[in-house]
Structure 1
Amino acid sequence: MNLVVPPITPELNKDLSVFLAGSIESGVAQKWQDKVIEELSEENVTLLNPRRLSWDASWEQKIDNPVFKEQVLWELEALEKADMIIMYFDKNTTSPITLLELGLYARSNKLVVCCPDGFWRKGNVDIVCEQYGLQKVNSLEELINEVKKKLE
């Protein structure tokens, strides 16, 4: 497995590349990305994980903040380059950026979505998935299994 995190430029090889889209809200969201990384550690896959190791919650989220802009541009580039996007909505979060990414990539044929009962906008997510024929799964384990199936 090859793990790429910001601000490292996503250079992809022939392996399947998977963007880990989903809930990141510090102190609220479970670190579901860690489980994905652990479960796929022995696979020939490149994981694009937007969870920045050096993130500082005090950074102003404005276009003229160079570190914040670098983060957002990294995510947009990685989403574009990825062969597959797995999306996990933690029911304890609001995940506005994940909802934005769902809208941006609903027509990409790259998405597999997990939105458990209890997520505050589950109805919206379910309707978008139905409307655009997006694959949905019911758990993080199933999301990981979809990556493994794609690797076969």
Structure 2
Amino acid sequence: MTVVVAPDRPASPLRPGIFLAGGISGVADWQRDAIEHLRPAWPVVYNPRRAVFPMGDDAEGARQIRWEFDLLAFADAILFWFSFETTQPIVLYELGRWAASDKPLAVGADPSYERRFDVVQQLGLARPGLTVQADLGSACAAANRLPGARSSQGAR
């Protein structure tokens, strides 16, 4: 597995890949756990969580936002995870944007996430067949069944 971490960009396209969309500040490092769950199925993971982010640096903030914007579009699928610690308004925006597309999505929201009801209701309207998982392991298992994952195409 190759993990591409912001703000790095691959020299050549790496596919198939899944983007980890969810909180990156003020929340536990859920991405580390997700990567382990996704390892058997996804050759490439796009991880927006940097080891160190220079908060207050507008140029780096803009670079991060552009990286996420570009790689969300490039990825073959997106895993959304809403942890309980913060509201994560940008992730809600990204979910709305991509739920209105045909990009394969897997979504999970912790039962204690304050906007879980809204996520479930909105996705029930935008993507009626998509189940919002209640734990990260189940959300990753759903991601591992999406088009592009090794498990969705049989053994390679």
Normalized against structure 2, the TM-score is what? 0.83
Asked if the contact 2:107/2:139 (under 8 Å) is kept, the reply is yes
Distance (Å, rounded) in 2 between the aligned partners of 1:98 and 1:72: 12
Give the counterpart of 1:39 among 37, 40, 62.
37
Give the counterpart of 2:135 among 115, 136, 139.
139
Residues 42/123 of structure 1: CA separation in 2 closer, same or farther (3 Å cut): closer
Asked if the contact 1:17/1:45 (under 8 Å) is kept, the reply is yes
Seq. identity, %: 29
Q: Secondary structure at the match of 2:51?
A: coil
Alignment of 1:72-91 (within 5 A): 72-91=65-84
Distance (Å, rounded) in 2 between the aligned partners of 1:54 and 1:25: 11
Aligned-pair RMSD on alpha carbons?
1.8
Using the TM superposition, name which of 87-96 and 126-135 deviates more.
Answer: 126-135
Structure 1 unaligned blocks of 5 or more: none
Deviation at 1:33, TM superposition (A): 0.4
* Structure 2 residue identity aligned to 1:45: P
Residue 128 of structure 1 is matched in structure 2 by: 122
Give the counterpart of 2:54 among 53, 56, 71.
56
Asked if the contact 1:50/1:75 (under 8 Å) is kept, the reply is yes
* Structure 2 residue identity aligned to 1:38: E
Distance (Å, rounded) in 1 between the aligned partners of 2:117 and 2:40: 35
Distance (Å, rounded) in 1 between the aligned partners of 2:82 and 2:92: 9
Residues 112/44 of structure 1: CA separation in 2 closer, same or farther (3 Å cut): closer
* Structure 2 residue identity aligned to 1:82: A
Query: How many aligned residue pairs are there?
Result: 144
Residue 100 of structure 2 is matched in structure 1 by: 107
Residue 154 of structure 2 is matched in structure 1 by: none
Residues 103/43 of structure 1: CA separation in 2 closer, same or farther (3 Å cut): closer
* Structure 1 residue identity aligned to 2:7: P
Residue 66 of structure 1 is matched in structure 2 by: 59
* Structure 1 residue identity aligned to 2:22: G
1:20 aligns with 2:1: no
Residues 127/84 of structure 1: CA separation in 2 closer, same or farther (3 Å cut): same
Distance (Å, rounded) in 2 between the aligned partners of 1:131 and 1:12: 33
Structure 2 unaligned blocks of 5 or more: 152-156
